[in-house]
Amino acid sequence: MINFVLLISRQGKVRLTKWYSPYSQKERNKVIRELSGVVLTRAPKLCNFVEWRGHKVVYKRYASLYFCMCIDEDDNELEVLEIIHHFVEILDRYFGSVCELDLIFNFHKAYYILDELLIAGELQESSKKTVARLIAAQDSLVETAKEEASSLSNIIAQATK
């Protein structure tokens, strides 16, 4: 299973963290510090796996962002690389050629997408289309709620004028 997902920028800034195994806040900070030290310093042509505290960290760099997933000893590293790519493709479709700034300002969207992809550290959906459809449906739910709210406040505003 995937124990956690980390997105780190090349400067070592955290862009997304998702913990599927219990880590206390202190441990989380330590993990992030340690791993960004390890992952960011690896040369480009090396393999995408790092052994770390009895686990394996699979990472892949896309532009300025490192996507890291920490898995158990006997998990399939190559598959996790493919999961990372799957995630990136979905982000790309959603944001329209995604860049780091998209993930900074819309970090919650990135989390929503990840939640449609992984639960309990396991893959949930292998179809990019399905994920996109589910996210779109939920986004439109939010939009309608907002519209209702604003029209409601308009009515109230009118009435109290």
Partner 1 sequence: MNPFSSGTRLRDMIRAIRACKTAAEERAVVRKECAAIRAAINENDQDYRHRNLAKLMFIHMLGYPTHFGQMECLKLIASPGFPEKRIGYLGLMLLLDERQEVLMLVTNSLKQDLNHTNQYIVGLALCALGNICSAEMARDLAPEVERLLQFRDPNIRKKAALCSIRIIKKVPDLAENFINPATALLREKHHGVLITGVQLCTDLCKISTEALEHIRKKCTDGLVRTLKDLANSPYSPEYDIAGITDPFLHIRLLKLLRVLGEGDADASDTMNDILAQVATKTESNKVAGNAILYECVQTIMSIEDNGGLRVLAINILGRFLSNRDNNIRYVALNMLMKAVSADAQAVQRHRATILECVKDSDASIRKRALELVYVLVNETNVKPLAKELIDYLEVSDLDFRGDLTAKICSIVAKFSPEKIWYIDQMLKVLTEAGNFVKDEVWYALIVVISNASELHGYTVRALYRAFQVSAEQESLVRVTVWCIGEYGDMLVNNVGMLDIEDPITVTESDAVDVVEIAIKRHASDLTTKAMALVALLKLSSRFPSCSERIREIIVQFKGSFVLELQQRAIEFNSIIAKHQNIRSTLVERMPVLDEATFIGRRAGSLPGAASTPTIPSVSLPNGVAKPVAPLVDLLDLNSDDAPAPSSSGGGDLLQDLLGVDLPPASQQSGAGQASKTGNDVLLDLLSIGSPSAPSSSSAVDILSSNSSNKVPVSPLDDLSSLSLSTGTTSNAAPMMDLLDGLAPSPPTENNGPVYPSITAFESSSLRLTFNFSKQPGNPQTTVIEATFINLSSNTYTDFVFQAAVPKFLQLHLDPASSNTLPTAGNGSITQNLKITNSQHGKKSLVMRIRIAYKINGKDTLEEGQVNNFPRDL
Single-letter code of the amino acid located at 65 = L
Is 62 a binder of partner 1 (CB under 8 A)?
no
| Least distance from partner 1 to the Cβ atom of residue 40, Å | 14
Residue closer to partner 1 by CB (options 63, 136) is: 136
SS3 of 3, please?
A: strand
In sequence order, the 6+-apart residues with CB closer than 8 A to the CB of 71 are 1, 2, 3, 55, 56, 57, 58, 77, 80
Identify the residue whose tokens are 């963290």: 17
CB atoms inside a 10 Å sphere around CB 43: 5
| Least distance from partner 1 to the Cβ atom of residue 48, Å | 6
Among 63, 136, 145, 155, interactor with partner 1 by CB under 8 A: 145
| Least distance from partner 1 to the Cβ atom of residue 158, Å | 19
Among 124, 150, 151, 154, interactor with partner 1 by CB under 8 A: 124
* CB half-sphere exposure, 114, CA atoms < 13 A: 23
Q: Which of residues 27-46 bind partner 1 (CB under 8 A)?
A: 29, 32, 43, 45-46
DSSP state of 148: H
Is 50 a binder of partner 1 (CB under 8 A)?
yes
**Separation of alpha carbons 92 and 130, rounded Å:** 15
Q: Is 92 exposed, middle or buried (0-12, 13-18, 19+ CB in 10 A)?
A: middle
Is 108 a binder of partner 1 (CB under 8 A)?
yes
Is 152 a binder of partner 1 (CB under 8 A)?
no
Interface contacts to partner 1, rule CB under 8 A: 14-20, 22-25, 29, 32, 43, 45-51, 76-79, 81-83, 85-86, 104-105, 107-108, 111-112, 115, 119-120, 122-130, 134, 137-138, 141-142, 145-146
